[in-house]
Amino acid sequence: MSKELLVLIGYEEDVLETFREMASEYQLVSEFEEADFSKVEIVLGWEERLVDVLESGEHQLKWIQLPTAGVDKLPLDLLAQEGVRLTSASGMHTHSLTESIFGMLLARTRGILQSVEASKASRWVQEEIEPVVLFDKSVTIIGAGKIGTEVAHMAKAFGMQTTGVNRSGGQIDGFDKVYTNDNLAEAVAEADVVINILPLTPETTGLFNLSLFKQFKPGAIFVNVGRGESVVTADLLTALDQELLSFAALDVFEEEPLPAESSVYTHSKILVTPHIAGFMDDYLGTLRPIIEENLQAFIDREELPVSEVDLDRKY
């Protein structure tokens, strides 16, 4: 065989055999060191050593399928220069992220966080807790794509009013209204809860700064499961200290791991989770249908149907 398929994801042999059967014109290689990049056209997975391969220009790479959703750490300009298509696992975290978002919200609004802390000190704090009901509250979801739409549907199950923000501003199922990115300030001004699910791009880096936080509805809750670099952490702390916001639930951070000395850990109005909102109990099983659908399309010389990255837009 003159073409190779390199698999860098830890699937068991039965799954690899399925890939072999699907890509019968390719020799499947499962170790980076065994790959001949004068023959490798497809890579399932990612290793930093691929950057050297791409920079050499001496390869036959045509398509890389990532096992993760984020692409902001990848050499997108280099991939574009070398004519290599890229697909991500964007969208596979829909349910896990949605559940995490509402777990964070309920931990705050139902007094669960306060109760946990009080129970450690054997304190009964019933009269200190002021629960909030999500029913009829307004939520603005910034990043009204597949995940954002699932979050909106869940919010509707709680009886919330839903607003979305995306590039087009077109109406989407599950949202009462949708704003364009240019009208972000207007969208956050009316929300009791603001949820960021945006990918990291040059346009979204530092988007959530003090200027924007001042446009939030006073006392709003902010949830970030998008990218840490979208938020200016110092400005978020100022917004909380000045009571522009009442609470922030953060799963992603400007620097990860979050340094032990960070005041984010100890702030009384912040819930920290260590970038686990997208985790799930059967990651490879959930990823597999995405790989197989894209692999079949590539072999059939069709458009890649699942989460092809726009290398110019950076997501």
Domains of the chain: 3-91+282-301 (3.40.50.720), 93-272 (3.40.50.720)
Q: What does pTM read for this prediction?
A: 0.93
Q: What is the pLDDT of residues 129-143, one digit of tens each?
A: 999 999 999 999 999
On the question of pLDDT at 81 being above 90, the answer is: yes
Q: What is the pLDDT of residues 169-204, one digit of tens each?
A: 999 999 999 999 999 999 999 999 999 999 999 999
Distance between CA atoms of 86 and 74, rounded to whole angstroms? 10
Q: What is the pLDDT of residues 263-306, one digit of tens each?
A: 999 999 999 999 999 999 999 999 999 999 999 999 999 999 99
Confidence band, pLDDT 50/70/90 cuts, at residue 214: very high
The β-bridge partners of 40 are 4
Active site residue: 25, 34, 117, 256, which one? 256
4 is catalytic: no
128 is catalytic: no
For residue 2, the model assigns a pLDDT of: 86
Structure tokens at 204: 């979204």
Active site residue: 150, 227, 229, 254, which one? 227
Residue pointed to by tokens 């726009």: 310
282 phi and psi angles, rounded to 5 deg = -135, 65
Active site residue: 275, 288, 293, 308, which one? 275
227 is catalytic: yes
Distance between CA atoms of 278 and 61, rounded to whole angstroms? 29
